[in-house]
């Protein structure tokens, strides 16, 4: 059940590394698929006590010049929360860079 979606991009020359690190980080608690520079993460509708209408999905794809991000959510607030979570988590791994810029379309 996807009600809202957002696509974004974070420019970095370490995209493959960050996608892999983030997938490994989240696979301890979430359903994660990762292969060939693409990560797909499912956030259950009831994660951390939430009660969203449906599960959300985040797709991360390592490109030569950065990370392509897609968030599919069941509600606008779920989408906003996941966009923020993705940014915060990528930034943890990219702490040596001078802050990644996220371009959400």
**Number of compact structural domains in the chain:** 1
Q: Which of 30, 35, 77, 37 is nearest to 57 (CA)?
A: 30
At 1 the pLDDT is 60
pTM, whole model, 2 decimals? 0.94
Q: What are phi and psi of 41, to 5 degrees?
A: -125, 135
Does a structural domain hold residue 24?
A: yes
Does a structural domain hold residue 104?
A: no
Q: Supply the range of the domain harboring residue 82.
A: 4-98
Cα(90)–Cα(88) distance, integer angstroms? 6
Q: Model confidence over 47-100: pLDDT tens digits?
A: 888 999 999 999 999 999 999 999 999 999 999 999 999 999 999 999 999 879
Per-position DSSP letters for 56-71, written without gaps between them: EEEEEEEETTEEEEEE
At 48 the pLDDT is 84
Q: Provide the CATH number for the domain around residue 78.
A: 3.30.310.50
Does a structural domain hold residue 8?
A: yes
At 44 the pLDDT is 97
Does a structural domain hold residue 36?
A: yes
Encoded tokens for 84: 């923020």
Does a structural domain hold residue 105?
A: no
């Amino acid at each position: 059940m996807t009600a809202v979606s957002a696509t974004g991009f974070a420019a970095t020359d370490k995209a493959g590394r960050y996608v892999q690190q983030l997938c490994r980080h989240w696979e301890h608690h979430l359903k994660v698929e990762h292969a060939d520079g693409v990560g797909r993460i499912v956030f259950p509708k009831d994660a951390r006590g939430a009660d969203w209408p449906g599960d959300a999905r985040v797709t991360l794809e390592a490109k030569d010049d950065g990370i392509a991000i897609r968030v599919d959510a069941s509600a606008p607030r779920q989408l906003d929360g996941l966009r923020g979570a993705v940014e915060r988590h990528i930034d943890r791994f990219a702490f040596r860079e001078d802050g990644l810029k996220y371009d959400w379309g």
